[in-house]
Amino acid sequence: MRVDLLFFLASVALLAGCQTASSYQTDENSAYYIVPAGTHVMLSKELPIQPYQLGAYIQNGKVLPNTEVQHYYPFCKFELYKLSDSARSVPPDDMTVTKTSQLQWDGAVAQTGRLHYAALSSPIVRTQMEGGYPPIQAFLTQMDLHSEKNPDVYRLTCAKFGYPNMDRHVTIAEIRRTLDPLFTLRLAGASR
């Protein structure tokens, strides 16, 4: 009788776990629902890449220099494989996500005089630098891309900085808002 009760409770717990997992796997506002392989990333207009840069930063639908990106809010970086000493651009394209990974890099903030510095490290190292500033984390979602038209296309990384145990990875909904109107996402298996 006791074995039957334990088996029953274990079965209920397993089914409840499966139900919970499936509920966030289609919620674009969940940090646990990542961009699936096979998703189409569509660039709607030409994207400029500056000389000696491997990519472009995007926030609120605009291409920005890294120094103007507000890193505590969602932002993305579109990357190419090869460095060039001249300006170039990526023409409109329909690229496919081949793999998605979520990473966390830990770091800390320090102050020297009137300047604040942020340092990130990987693998994860939890530290608190002098000055009493809290540790920070970068929450990264990396999407490896494939393009038939542009073989130099490499990756789209969307991220934000935050505090350990207080922040999370960007959601698909946040990625959409960050990239719109330059890029749109058509998730694998979805009509949108």
Structural tokens at position 51: 């000389």
pLDDT (tens digit per residue) in 49-83: 999 999 999 999 999 999 999 999 999 999 999 99
Q: How many residues does the chain have?
A: 192
Domain ranges of the chain: 1-30, 35-186
Regions in the chain scoring below 50 on pLDDT: 5-6, 9, 12, 14-23, 111-113, 115-117, 121-130
What is the C-alpha separation between 178 and 141, in angstroms, rounded? 13
Query: What's the whole-model pTM score?
Result: 0.75
Distances (CA, A) of 39 to 50, 60, 79: 27, 21, 17
DSSP letter at 139? Answer: E
Q: How many CA atoms lie within 13 A of 108 on its CB side?
A: 12
